[in-house]
Amino acid sequence: MRVIDHVIKGGTAGLASARRGAVMDPNNGVQQAEVVLGGADALERAVAAAQAAQPGWAAINPQRRARVMFTVKALIERDLDELAVLLSAEHGKVIADARGDILRGLEVVEYCCGLPQMLKGEYSHGAGPGIDVFSMRQPLGIGAGITPFNFPAMIPLWMAAMAIAAGNAFILKPSERDPTVPCRLAELFVEAGLPEGVFQVVHGDKEMVDLILDHPAISAVSFVGSSDIAHYVYSRGVAAGKRVQAMGGAKNHGIVMPDADLDQVVNDLCGAAFGSAGERCMALPVVVPVGEETAERLKAKLIPAIAALQIGISTDPDAQYGPVVTAMHKASIERWIQTAIDEGSELVVDGRGFRLQGHENGYFLGPTLLDRVMPEMKSYQNEIFGPVLQIVRAPDFETALALPSKHQYGNGVAIFTRNGHAAREFAARVNVGMVGVNVPIPVPVAYHSFGGWKRSGFGDIDQFGLEGLRFWTKLKKVTARWPDGGGDGSNAFIIPTMS
């Protein structure tokens, strides 16, 4: 059985680890590898290597650090096909979608090629007599990233590229369910010329996460995963004196106004609700048609579109989505569908019981459509994270606006309309972090920033873009006086003012 080891100091660690986790092939339900579940010895080794490497890396001028990012970009592009196959084999998303996962991460690497511009400080000449004030952004030292299974390339790259380009050493603890691609990415950074010890990968579960959160040499933790764990990571990390950003789960709504182009909406919804088997934090698992007539027209178009969806193994070029990640997750999604039925929602299309010929043990689920879902239902209030679309009917715009605004999650939301005023009002008033206007999955581009609100995001600073730069650096403010000989005669016992 293939063993997936930590990547410490540019190579495998070779530490004897008593605990191992199973990495499954979701297409067939068989184990394909085992991943070491590390403990204190692995983390201590990684931290020691990071401490040795980081000061030298931070001392290299930003432009030379950026050159490493240019090479990382070229190497990821060189290996894109191979990485997509590896990613798809462990996650279960189809190859084209796996490429998208890598490419969205690559966009942040590209952004980091220009980081010297962003790292420039501010300067005020003559802020007082002979006084200049300037600021500089300095790296934090050692940062850690803890990432979920559903984007094993994009999310590690969001964190690693920003942290490293800013001059930090970075230790990644990827999901134990699909750990191969994160390791390959760390190896590519080393191949690109990054000094060993600047980007390392330690594998593990809660034990490793707790060790990271408590480690005094780690200054910052970036987490992406489910909300309860995000909240736990945030609280424990902050209590240990770290800077923490912790992105959580989601329940994104798509509001459909009566004037929307319904053919376009149905196409967008099918991709956003069922693509990647619904395992995206920016999926659209809730659709809110405004008005009964809109609801009926939308439902009539959704039913045949859903029936036409192609489900297949992740390497099938015709498949639109593949299996979910584990048997346990499949069972959880099936339980949520049953809960939704028991709560009184109308089962329009039932995806349970779907079997793919030749892959009967794969973790496949057909698409499910539920109508007449009500806000008080548990299946609406919670994240299902599977190929399940729930219709919540709203009589008017204000009711539709209130649904995502009042929901416990506030990651993404979309409005579909031809009415610019309605869209503008919606974007301004909705209590959600990322808004799409006729865009079903509004993940901002790399030079903006990513982050949800409410229980979708703990901590104040978002991922990547200028926010990411703020997260991975600390701002030093320097006030320098070069008087023209002698003192200026001011009373040194009184706080200096500009009066």
- The active-site residue, picked from 113, 183, 270, 281, is 281
Distance CA 211, CA 46 (A): 12
Least gap, CB of 37 to ligand NAD (angstroms): 9
* Strands 20-25, 434-437: pairing kind: unpaired
* Residue closer to ligand NAD (CB basis): 86 or 224: 224
* Residue closer to ligand NAD (CB basis): 212 or 266: 212
Least gap, CB of 225 to ligand NAD (angstroms): 3
Least gap, CB of 444 to ligand NAD (angstroms): 11
| C-alpha 79 chain-centroid distance | 22
Least gap, CB of 131 to ligand NAD (angstroms): 43
Distance CA 163, CA 166 (A): 5
Least gap, CB of 35 to ligand NAD (angstroms): 10
Q: Tokens 């990415």 label which residue?
A: 185
Coil/strand/helix, residue 165: helix
* Residue closer to ligand NAD (CB basis): 235 or 267: 235
| DSSP-assigned letters across all residues of 424-483 | HHHHHH---SEEEES-SS-PPPTTS-B--EETTEESS--BSHHHHHHHHEEEEEEEEE--
* Residue closer to ligand NAD (CB basis): 46 or 295: 46
Return the closest-CA partner of residue 396 out of 251, 488, 293: 293
* Residue closer to ligand NAD (CB basis): 246 or 422: 246
* Residue closer to ligand NAD (CB basis): 71 or 226: 226
Coil/strand/helix, residue 88: helix
Least gap, CB of 497 to ligand NAD (angstroms): 45
Q: For 245, how many CA atoms within 13 A lie in the half-sphere containing its CB?
A: 24
Q: Tokens 């979701």 label which residue?
A: 26
Least gap, CB of 348 to ligand NAD (angstroms): 24
Convert 172-238 into a string of H (helix), E (strand) and C (coil).
Answer: EECCCCCCHHHHHHHHHHHHCCCCCCCEEECCCCHHHHHHHHHCCCCCEEEEECCHHHHHHHHHHHH
Chain residues binding ligand NAD by CB under 6 A are 146-151, 173, 175-176, 205-206, 209, 224-226, 229, 232, 247-250, 281, 383, 385, 411, 452, 456
Q: Are 309 and 274 in contact (CB under 8 A)?
A: yes
Distance CA 360, CA 144 (A): 39
Coil/strand/helix, residue 117: helix
* Residue closer to ligand NAD (CB basis): 225 or 362: 225
Sheet with 368-371, edge to edge strand ranges: 346-349, 368-371, 388-391, 286-289, 253-256, 412-416, 434-437
Residue number closest to ligand NAD, CB atom: 225
- What is the b/e burial string over 78-91, where b = at least 16 CB atoms within 10 angstroms of the residue's CB? ebbeebbebbbbbb
Is 281 noted as a catalytic residue in this protein? yes
Give the active site residues.
Answer: 281
